[in-house]
Amino acid sequence: ALTDKLSRLVKDLRGQGRITESNVTDMLREVRMALLEADVALPVVRDFIARVKDKALGQEVLGSLQPGQVLVSIVNRELAATMGEGVSDINLAAQPPAVILMAGLQGAGKTTTTAKLAKHLIEKRKKKVLTVSGDVYRPAAIEQLKTVTAQAGAEWFPSTPDQNPVDIGRAALDYAKKHFFDVLLVDTAGRLAIDEALMLEIKNLHAVLNPVETLFVVDAMQGQDAVNTAKAFKEALPLTGIILTKTDGDSRGGAALSVRQITGAPIKFAGTSEKLDGLEVFDAERHAGRILGMGDIVALVEQVTAGVDIEAAKKLADKVKSGGGFDLNDFLAQIQQMKQMGGLSSLMDKLPAAMAAKAGQVDMDKAERDIKRKEGIIHSMTPLERRKPDLIKATRKRRIAAGAGVHVQEVNRMLKEFEQMQDMMKKMKGGGMMKMMKRLGG
């Protein structure tokens, strides 16, 4: 949808050489909508839009670019810069054991992330890691940490529900010192911001442990409320980093921007699955595209306009328009252009989140192999057959299949696909997609 909006706006702004107060307003309205739809909190959106407007005003629009494109790229860059600032791995610069305190709401993913971090620190940084649970309110939570710690290959320090979290922290720290652990990961009970007693408890725990990292674990699917939660945790604790969990869900993850802006702490990692290897260094650029709901549309546009031979596209469009028909040579040209653009998977990487999620269900390697086979089939046809696919009946099909080293069914399938494409081309009367790309590419 944003692609449509973008092209509409780009059309409206065509021929304006500069971003001005008057032409920027509509565009910013769209950006604002996109941010709100991604669940970025309202005050954060306001702030962000003001910053973007500042940067955009008076910005000259160079070369073949349009104001719309320039603004989108400013928004994208600003989003990525804001969220990506200060990104770094876990800080362990402390007299061992380096203590890492996990904070956040119930269900945010603290326990899971504790084990993910343990695994990361063991495997990537060769550390000796101890975990402990201060979640004394739910016996199952302590057991849960025990289980996932074992899966991560770390050691678990026992605690029980009748203990005080501060005592647990102290005992675990002692043990970690005596046994030369490099890192102590302290999982805590999920708390609601409004629960002052629990907030006080984690503050006390912080005071005793003096952690080198105090990580705020937040669910990427959290909506507008992320601001209040983040505020309360920032007031209670000197947060040193954020971990954004459940980025594999289908939310657009606007919480990342809200929480980054409110706490000022860098987003260090993103949780990408329930499994313990589902932890990745936070990729601000990718996440910016996701929030805007358009993947890296700027890069996509550039890639596509670079890859598509505009002249060839125009010729094809004219040919279709004049009733010249879309033949197998054109089909082959399209397949080859797809390859020129850097392959399917690189293209899919840049698609909007929702589309990419769908695309993720497709096996990309297989899809690329598929393209090569289709190419092979068309190459086994005579020039006449390519121009007049109607001629291709049983005998020719067998010959073509043999030539390409595939089954006849595969030739059939490809011809069917070609027919569908031909139909689509007829309907598009000159290729709406090509037109849009030409417009964007100038």
* Binding site members: 104-111, 187-191, 245-248
Residue closer to Mg ion, measured from CB, 106 or 336? 106
Residue 345: how many other CB atoms lie within 10 Å: 13
Instruction: Pick what 271 binds: Mg ion, ligand GDP, none; C-beta below 5 to 8 Å, kind-dependent.
Output: ligand GDP
Nearer to Mg ion, 213 or 349 (CB): 213
- Among the listed residues 63, 121, 135, the one whose alpha carbon sits nearest the alpha carbon of residue 92: 121
Q: Of 131 and 272, which has the nearer Cβ to Mg ion?
A: 131
The contact mask relative to Mg ion for 90-129 (x = CB under 5 A, - = no) is: --------------------xx------------------
Nearer to Mg ion (CB atom), residue 23 or residue 111? 111
Residue of 161, 230, 236, 179 whose CA lies nearest to 203: 236
Give the nearest distance from C-beta 106 to Mg ion in angstroms: 8
- C-beta of 149: minimal distance to Mg ion in Å? 12
User: CA-to-CA distance for 423 and 388, rounded, in angstroms?
Assistant: 15
**Residue 7: contacted member of Mg ion, ligand GDP, none (CB under 5 to 8 Å, by partner type):** none
Q: Of 351, 336, 316, 348, whose CA–CA distance to 434 is shortest?
A: 316
Q: Whose CB is nearest to ligand GDP?
A: 271
53 or 110: whose CB is closer to ligand GDP?
Answer: 110
What is the binding site for ligand GDP (CB under 6 A)?
A: 104, 106-112, 190, 245-246, 248, 271-274, 278
Place of tokens 């326990």: 111
- Nearer Cβ to Mg ion, position 114 or 263? 114
- Among Mg ion, ligand GDP, none, what does residue 334 contact (CB within 5–8 Å per kind)? none
Is 258 an interacting residue with respect to Mg ion (CB under 5 A)? no
Q: Which does 106 bind (CB under 5 to 8 A by kind): ligand GDP, Mg ion, none?
A: ligand GDP
Distance set, CA 223 to CA 248, 332, 385 (Å): 16, 46, 57
Closest approach, Cβ 106 to ligand GDP, in A, equals 5
Smallest separation (angstroms) from ligand GDP to the CB of 59: 37
Q: In angstroms, give the least distance from the CB of 103 to Mg ion.
A: 11
The distance of closest approach from Cβ of residue 243 to ligand GDP in the complex, given in angstroms and rounded to an integer, is: 9
| String marking each residue 155-194 x if it binds Mg ion according to CB under 5 A | ----------------------------------------
CB of 276 to ligand GDP, least distance (A): 10
Contact 312, 282 (CB under 8 A): no
Residues 6+ apart with CB under 8 A from 371: 335, 338, 339, 344
Q: At what angle do helices 67-84 and 21-37 cross, to 10 degrees?
A: 50
Distance CA 27, CA 75 (A): 10
Nearest to 282 by CA among 326, 355, 218: 218
Query: What, of ligand GDP, Mg ion, none, does residue 97 touch, CB below 5 to 8 Å by kind?
Result: none
The count of residues interacting with Mg ion (CB under 5 A) is 3
Residue 165: CA count within 13 A, CB half-sphere: 25
By C-beta, is 254 or 271 nearer to ligand GDP?
Answer: 271
Decide: is 141 part of the binding site for Mg ion (CB under 5 A): yes
Which of ligand GDP, Mg ion, none binds 273 (CB below 5-8 Å, type-dependent)? Answer: ligand GDP
82/245 with CB nearer Mg ion: 245
Backbone angles phi, psi at 166, to 5 degrees: -65, -40
Reading the block at residue 128, the tokens are: 């000796």
Burial group, residue 105, by CB count within 10 angstroms (0-12, 13-18, 19+): buried
- Number of residue whose CB is nearest Mg ion: 111
Minimum CB separation of residue 202 from ligand GDP in Å reads 13
Contact between 245 and Mg ion by CB under 5 A: the answer reads no
In sign, the C-alpha dihedral spanning 59, 65, 70, 73 is negative
Annotated binding-site residues for GTP read 104-111, 187-191, 245-248
- Which has the closest alpha carbon to 32: 20, 44, 22, 21? 44
User: Number of C-alpha atoms within 13 angstroms, CB side, residue 49?
Assistant: 21
Cβ at position 108, least distance to Mg ion in Å: 8
Does residue 255 belong to the site contacting Mg ion (CB under 5 A)? no
Q: Annotate 398-431 with b (16+ C-beta within 10 A) or e (fewer).
A: ebbbeebebeeebbebbbeebeeebeebeebeeb
- Residue 317: CB partners within 8 Å, gap ≥ 6? 430, 431, 434, 435
Kindly list the residues in this chain that would bind Mg ion in the complex (CB under 5 A).
Answer: 110-111, 141
